[in-house]
Amino acid sequence: MTSITRITISLAAGILLAALAATPAFADDDPPRGGDSSPGDPFGTGVSEADDRDGGADAPPAADDESSHASTDRGHGHDHSPRIELGDPRGPIVGWTAARPDGHAPIGVMADHTHAAGEWMLSYRYMLMLMDGNRDGSHRQGDGRVLNDFPVAPTDMSMQMHMIGVMYAPTDDLTLMAMVPIVYKSMDHDIRTGGRFTTESDGIGDVSLTALYKVLDSGDESGGHRIHLNLGISFPTGGIGEKDTIFNGATIRLPYPMQLGSGTFDMIPGFTYMGESDDWSWGGQAKVRIPISGHSRRGYSWGEIYTATAWGARRVTDWLGLSLRAELSYWENFSGRDRALNGAVVPTADPDRRAGKRLDVFVGANFKAPSSVPDYSRGTGSRWRWACPSGSTTTGRPSTPS
């Protein structure tokens, strides 16, 4: 029996710090044509941009340099390349670009982009998740029904997460990413004998490091395609011994959903695809989180978590893109158990009630901040994104971001 209704609101902002180009901005009397630009001009589009997708919960896009030479280097992950926007007098659109509001994946997609060699990106993401109710399998359970089987019933839970991210690209094909989550959790409970109480926990969650390696970058004037591989590792920096005081004044270890981390080293492999045409973009990502260090010091480990997502987006204006995304998740029961927890008292303390699957549908918007004075020689910019689900069902996924 676990939370059923979930509402998620996410906001994010990022700033890209690209190496300053040695080549000056285009002269007004000599505009390049058809994507022709100096390799030192990472922002041939004249549009500055960055992303929060360093990832993560998700946290967790950009463009390349292009040249009219046959050996064009399209390896720059953050496509701040001289792909020319619609209506730009410098020439037609060439290949894939992230220098447009729908050029990045929706906010819920972590690790969705790479960068050009030498680029840094700092990002901040905020997520608020509200969960309510209980479910046994596919059936919704009222609080009274839960209290028939357990002395304590969880009724609702909230989680706030502040995600700090940094990305750096040592080469055009390889981008490295680090993410640090700061988590605040609260859960309300009803008691069979009457009354209510609330437990809380907060602190740093599991820090992750991820390598993103680009394997495909192709396109022409009709659009382009990108594929990169993700390989991440999550470190057990989040607490798994969090305690709080309950209704009878006792201080106890909190159930699994209220802990801040997994307690284990976890591997997170996956891949990401993104495509683009004149005013539309689309993509998909699949990944799995696998514990690789056995049980935690508390005697348990999470089950494997599988996630697949696909999305489509429309460029509405030069600064606004709208998106629709679906995400399918499946996660297994825990292995082992924390002997300080009693699964007969509250269902959230039972390691055999952790498995579930869920389909979420999200609507979102990407906002790109325009530059007041275009500068084609500098690689700095910002981007805001927002998303919330239009509907969801859940059967009990661990709330620590993956």
Select from 184, 163, 183, 166 the least CA-distant residue to 175.
166
Whether the CB-CB separation of 22 and 356 falls below 8 Å is answered with no
- The reply to whether 299 falls in a domain is yes
- Work out how many domains the chain is built from and give that number: 1
Range of lowest pLDDT (136-150, 226-240, 273-287, 345-359): 136-150
pLDDT at 293: 96
Residues facing residue 214 across a β-bridge? 228
The DSSP output letter for 145 is H
- Please check whether residue 399 lies inside any domain of the structure: no
Q: Rounded to whole angstroms, how far apart are CA atoms 374 and 394?
A: 46
For residue 286, pLDDT over 80 is answered with yes
Give the CA diameter of the chain.
Answer: 81
pLDDT category, 228, cuts 50, 70, 90? Answer: very high
In 3-state terms, what secondary structure has residue 291?
A: strand
Give residue 218's pLDDT.
86
Whole-number pLDDT of residue 370? 65
Q: Which amino acid is at 94?
A: V
Instruction: Name which of 60, 12, 59, 67 is nearest 38 in CA terms.
Output: 67
pLDDT digits (tens, 9 = 90+) for 91-149: 444 566 777 888 888 888 989 989 889 999 998 989 999 988 888 877 888 999 999 99
Q: Is residue 402 part of a domain?
A: no
According to the model, what pLDDT value does residue 384 have? Answer: 55
pLDDT of residue 264: 98
CA dihedral (130, 134, 136, 139) positive or negative: negative
For 50-81, the pLDDT digits (tens) are: 333 343 333 333 333 333 333 333 333 344 44
Between the alpha carbon of residue 110 and those of residues 115, 116, 315, the distances in Å are 14, 18, 21
**Mean pLDDT throughout 355-382?**
67
Distance CA 238, CA 252 (A): 18
- 3-class secondary-structure state, position 264: coil
Q: Could you give the 3-state DSSP secondary structure of residue 239?
A: coil
Amino acid at 234: S
Q: What is the secondary structure of 61-130 as a DSSP string? A: --B----SSTT-----SSB-S-PPPTT-TT----S---SSTTSS--TT--S-----TT-EEEEEEEEEEE
**Mean per-residue pLDDT of the chain:** 77
Q: How far apart are CA 210 and CA 201, in angstroms?
A: 27
Query: How far apart, in Å, are the Cα atoms of 267 and each of 182, 240, 272, 287?
Result: 20, 18, 16, 10
pLDDT in tens, 234-251: 999 999 999 999 999 999
Inside any domain, residue 218: yes
Give the model's confidence band at 40: pLDDT under 50 very low, under 70 low, under 90 confident, else very high: very low
Task: Please give the share of the chain, as a percent, with pLDDT higher than 90.
Answer: 51
Angle at 309 between CA 113 and CA 184, to 5 degrees: 80
Question: Which of the four pLDDT bands, split at 50, 70 and 90, describes residue 374?
Answer: very low
Question: In Å, what is the CA distance from 85 to each residue of 95, 169, 283, 296?
Answer: 11, 25, 20, 51
Q: List the one residue out of 301, 305, 303 whose CA is nearest residue 336.
A: 301
At residue 303, the pLDDT reads 96
Give the domain extent around 130. 5-392
Q: Is 381 in contact with 15 (CB distance < 8 Å)?
A: yes
Yes or no: say if 239 and 203 are a contact pair by the CB < 8 Å rule. yes
Residues written for the chain? 402
Q: Cβ distance 108 to 329 under 8 Å?
A: no
Residue 342: inside a domain, yes or no? yes
Residue 159: pLDDT over 70: yes
**Which residue carries 């050029």 as its tokens?**
103
Residue 26 lies in a domain: yes
Which band of pLDDT confidence, cut at 50, 70 and 90, is reported for residue 8? low
User: Average pLDDT for residues 16-41, to the nearest whole number?
Assistant: 40
pTM value?
0.74
Predicted confidence band at 15 (pLDDT cuts at 50, 70, 90)? low
Q: Would you say residue 400 lies in a domain?
A: no
Domain membership of residue 41 (yes or no) is yes
Instruction: Calculate Rg over the CA atoms of the chain.
Output: 23
Q: Does pLDDT of 14 surpass 80?
A: no
- Of 41-55, 156-170, 256-270, 368-382, the least confident: 41-55
